Structure 1
Amino acid sequence: MERTLVLVKPDGIQRGLVGEIMTRFERKGLKLLALKMTQLSDELLDKWYEHHKDKDFFVELKNFMKWTPVVAMVWEGQRGVEVVRRIVGVTKGFEAESGSIRGDFGLSGSQNIVHASDSVEAATKEIGLLFEDDEIFYTYESAIECLIYGNQERAKKED
């Protein structure tokens, strides 16, 4: 099973979309491992967006991400990164597929409601930046896992 990170960004917070966003992941069958509301700092954002440091929009991006707290979540599921990215939709809301979070709620290229890790490596880094190990509930068993995954898939998880 893969773990991935999702942030509800300031525009998603202001628009009251946290519950709707969480519901979409839950309905898909992903398992929530961690959840918190947090204010992102300059230091954290410098690490998070280090690949954008030299771009002209970097300061505006950081200011946007500090506008309000964000909701940070760790989700787990089979091919979790890919599944979450499909639920979220492509980056620009005006290009995002209908039925995705960004496709249903976004029109902007920059104010796009949520962030979702784009790889297992990025998820590992981003989870490490936002959560302490004791804030993540890695091992609890969901009562519905037997309804989400077949026996063979659940057996692989235990390996």
Structure 2
Amino acid sequence: MTVSRYSFVLAFLAATGAAHAQGLPPGVRLGMTADALQSALPVERVVRPQRLAGGLVGSWRTAPIAMAGLPFEPTFFFAGGELKRVAYLTVTDDPAQVPQLAAAFAELVQWGRAQFGHELGSSDPGSAYAAWSQGDADIYAQHTVDGRRATVRLVYKASQRKDGSAL
């Protein structure tokens, strides 16, 4: 996805009064089944699902959602029959739009601070990361720039707490 390719989505969302949401979509909660997700949202199967560690499979998606002034594509990841992760992603290959993605990341960090308090963060050349925990969920925002390509990602995932016996 490129930012310019989805400018029509932003216009549609603005015209319909769609929320400037960064949270989970209404009716969606970590731990729900794929059937429950399909009942809560108009989702479609991902043609080539992304596979992550721990058996996570990004098998469902929905229309882009406007956040921080940009269209973010939501992908829903399941493992063991339960929703374990929701990832919102926006990408550009246009160097002129890299500052717009940096500004979007900064806005997401400010939103996270207002929602969850001060973040655990890191910043290296070409990347920045901010993370929070709330209840049984971990939330993080990530910004990367690699040459001409820039991405911003916002992720909600089920917490994986370990006690001392697992160390």
TM-score (norm 1): 0.29
Higher relative contact order (CA 8 A, sep 6+): 1
> Which structure shows the bigger proportion of residues in helix conformation?
1
The structure with the largest strand share of the pair is 2
